[in-house]
Amino acid sequence: MANLIDGRAIAEKVYVDLRREIAELKTKGVTPGLAVVLVGDDPASRAYVRSKDKMCRELGLHSVKLELPGSTTQTELLRRVEELNADPSIHGILVQSPPPAHIDEAAIVRALDPRKDVDGFHPENVAKLVLDDPSGFVPCTPLGVQRLLIESKININGAHIVVLGRSMIVGKPLALLLMQKNTNANATVTVVHSRSRDLEEITRSADIIVAAIGRPGFVKADHVREGAVVIDVGINRVEDGAAERGYRLVGDVAFDEVSKKASAITPVPGGVGPMTIAMLMSNTVKAARQSL
């Protein structure tokens, strides 16, 4: 049976370091500030925003939660982003994804000041990741995955890592991050997706599998070789009449069967999720430090 990688416990370790850094910044007269903008009332997005705001307050950060109606226009949203760009008390800005259909998300991301883009999606931050420039911001989920592996003493250096999924949120930036030239990376990374041939054959050759494909229970025991490490980024709602809320949360990995073969695995929930928020806080503190 696989070792369980506890994302909550590792996130707590991150917060211990961050509290020290935040205290140090406050002695220099800087309180790191994060603004989260939510357009519309998607329940999952609302829950995310609530947890981000709660964590900010627990760490003693300056937190601004901007909840805008679903009818907010592109122009109005861009105006709000401009105001936050110009606000010296705000070091990090996050516009919760996905916005309503009438909003051009790419244009909103491009309008962010890249020095405040703590989600790491601005073209300038993407370029810095490609160029191994440490002053840029790496998207929070890939950064969280890397930190989980490091803290769990799983060797990334020289490992073959297969990433399932090629999104700009996880797959692409994670591949770039893990093949960087440093001891916390240096991996051989293969990215597979829905069009990949011989997918099982490729995933079975992996030392570490990262599933971020957005399909519940997609990765089965047949995809995994004995002793591999499995990181499950997926978070999917599956209807379940027996559950209190009428649904349960499951990952992209068929946990029960895969955990019998893997040497280590992340649970859903409680694996990558807590790390994503921890890395958002970490990026916000980094933005505040770089603003000095």
Q: Point out the residues that are catalytic.
A: 52, 96, 119
- H helix count then E strand count, the chain: 10, 11
Q: Interior CA angle at 273 toward 150 and 239, to 5°?
A: 140
**CA distance readout (Å), 199 to 130, 164, 169, 203, 236:** 26, 9, 21, 6, 21
Residue type, 291: S
Tokens in use for 231?
A: 């990181």
Strands 160-164 and 208-211: parallel
State the CB neighbour count (10 A cutoff) for residue 229: 26
Residue 63 in contact with residue 84, Cβ under 8 Å?
Answer: no
